[in-house]
Structure 1
């Protein structure tokens, strides 16, 4: 099971395509239902407003990619990378 998933704001909750970039999120712990999803860049999305993506689509969040890549290079676990 992957430790990271990709999601973006659903169209009806965005004020334009600019707000719909694809963010990287840590997969919640088993049995946990988060009130808010926290992307690696710090973006927060309510789970009901998130569109889960099955792969790379649309504009990626450059900050999310940079944070995950840098921390991965340091050998940190994916679950430890999320900003609370």
Structure 2
């Protein structure tokens, strides 16, 4: 992983841990959902960046294409 990605993941984890520890059942944070969505977005972006820098991304794309072809009868749309 590159340094920027590692730094972003570390900051997201620290923020998430701090948020989780500070939360109590009696306390309801406003905007909580927005923070959760932001965390999900950070994780998804990190995964996409990590996969795009390797051949794993192409392998996944090829596997998905093969599965779609087998489900639709194959032939790349010519059959």
Q: Which TM class, normalised by the smaller chain length? A: under 0.3
Larger Rg: 2
Higher strand share: 1
TM-score if structure 2 supplies the norm length?
0.25
TM-score if structure 1 supplies the norm length?
0.24
